[in-house]
Amino acid sequence: MSDSPEQVASARGSCAEQLTRWGLSDLAFTTELLVSELVTNAIRHGSAPVGLRLIRDQALVCGVHDTSSSVPRVCHATGNDERGRGLFMIEETADRWGVRFDPGGKTVWAEQDIGEETAAD
């Protein structure tokens, strides 16, 4: 994935297609929101290249990797702020989220529970 803002829409579309293939269309709205915020944050605050990975296991994990080692932090924007709500939205929307560092940068991930029956399909 390139590091241009136009790629956010492409990432959402790819995400929706994959969720449909997995039979998880009911998670599309929330997952697309998480993907949008994670990819946007990586483009704005990280370093290229930016990569998106969806993992379906006992939970649905969306991970976005960039080559920056900067630590993302949750901001609590005021009513007049136009930015600064991304990780706050992720924190409120995902069941769990976090950051994993590796020698090539970091992955910010968000996880949604999908239930035992769905995970086994």
CA 116/CA 112 separation, integer angstroms: 12
Q: What is the mean pLDDT of the chain?
A: 86
Report pLDDT for 45.
85
Count Cβ atoms within 10 A of the Cβ of residue 14 and give its class: 0-12 exposed, 13-18 middle, 19 or more buried.
middle
pLDDT at 72: 74
- Predicted local distance difference test score (pLDDT) of residue 78: 59
pLDDT, tens only, 10-50? 999 999 999 999 999 999 999 999 999 999 989 988 888 99
